[in-house]
């Protein structure tokens, strides 16, 4: 199945410090591409994979589950770990949950975690009914492009397969139980006005992790997909400063156009 234009995975070979970026549920690398290019332009090695079932057709998502999505980022982390001195994980929404689980399970191999509007549970009146509802109703409406900035859009599915949503619900429960195992420095950035993931999810994550080095940043001008919204530059700058503090010397002065020279592959 061909990948939607703009939804391709992205990789940039930079220095000895690497960042693994994880996109969200029903989304694609497009939502994090500017962030990835920002980091790449500053000398960092960056990997932004396309999760299975994403970036093609919503029907493809319906035959995947959290095990597939997590296996993809876990595989990328292991590849980066073998060639990097320091490794950071980051993500948006479900991608934030993926990043947190990577941190919980890989321990000292991960130097820090940066998440944007991380998801912790399913919301909505039908969330509790997913185990049964998924057998009766195949899809619900999509959640893409919750963005305040005019003209900014996210590549995402117009429908959400309920089998995949049920799997995501199970994944959130799993990650919630593992949050106390997250001990790394944490940068958590979230939007007070988020129509997909409420601020309560960020509050719960902050209350359950064991990290002692924690920075919370409010993205006042953005909705859920803040990486494509008014606060995008703040996200990029805060994460770059976070990495630079924890990995002295890793962040370089940007060279014009460098970030766009990463490898993009279709699938």
Check if 93 is active-site. Answer: yes
Tracing tokens 């409010």 back to the chain, one arrives at 218
Q: Which of 31, 93, 167, 202 is catalytic?
A: 93
Tokens of 40: 């790449």
Burial class from Cβ neighbours inside 10 Å (0-12, 13-18, 19+) for residue 136 reads exposed
- Catalytic entry in 224, 229, 230, 239: 224
Q: How far is CA 51 from CA 24, 56, 140, 173, in A?
A: 9, 10, 20, 20
Q: Distance between CA 265 and CA 139 in Å, rounded?
A: 29
Element (H, E) at 143: none
**Count of CA atoms in the C-beta half-sphere (13 A) of 133:** 15
CB of 190 closer than 8 Å to CB of 218: yes
Distance CA 230, CA 146 (A): 12
Among 12, 23, 146, 194, the active-site one is: 194
Catalytic, 237? Answer no
222 is catalytic: no
Given strand 112-116, what is the order of strands in its sheet?
214-218, 186-190, 112-116, 86-92, 17-22, 45-48, 10-12, 263-264
Helix (H) or strand (E) holding 190: strand 186-190
Mind telling me the catalytic residues? Answer: 93, 194, 224
């Amino acid at each position: 199945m061909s990948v939607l234009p703009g939804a391709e995975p992205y990789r940039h070979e930079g220095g000895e410090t690497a960042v693994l970026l994880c996109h969200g549920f029903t989304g694609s690398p497009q939502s994090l591409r500017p962030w990835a290019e920002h980091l790449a332009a500053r000398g960092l090695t960056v990997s932004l994979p396309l999760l299975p079932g994403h970036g093609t057709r919503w029907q493809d998502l319906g035959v995947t589950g959290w095990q597939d999505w997590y296996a993809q980022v876990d595989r990328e982390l292991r590849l980066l770990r073998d060639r990097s001195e320091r490794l950071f994980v980051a993500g948006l929404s479900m991608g934030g949950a993926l990043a947190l689980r990577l941190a919980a399970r890989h321990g000292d191999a991960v130097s820090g975690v940066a998440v944007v509007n991380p998801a912790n549970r399913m919301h909505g009146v039908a969330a509790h009914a997913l185990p049964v509802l998924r057998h009766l109703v195949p899809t619900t409406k999509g959640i893409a492009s919750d963005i305040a900035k005019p003209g900014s859009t996210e590549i995402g599915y117009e429908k959400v397969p309920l089998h995949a949503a049920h799997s995501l619900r199970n994944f959130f429960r799993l990650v919630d139980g593992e949050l106390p195992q997250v001990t790394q420095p944490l940068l958590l950035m979230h939007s007070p006005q988020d129509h997909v993931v409420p601020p309560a999810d960020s509050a719960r994550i902050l209350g359950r992790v064991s990290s002692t080095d924690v920075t919370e940043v409010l993205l006042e001008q953005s909705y859920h997909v803040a990486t494509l919204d008014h606060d995008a530059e703040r996200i990029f700058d805060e994460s770059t400063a976070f990495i630079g503090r924890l990995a002295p010397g890793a962040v370089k002065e940007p060279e014009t156009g460098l970030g766009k020279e990463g490898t993009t592959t279709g699938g």
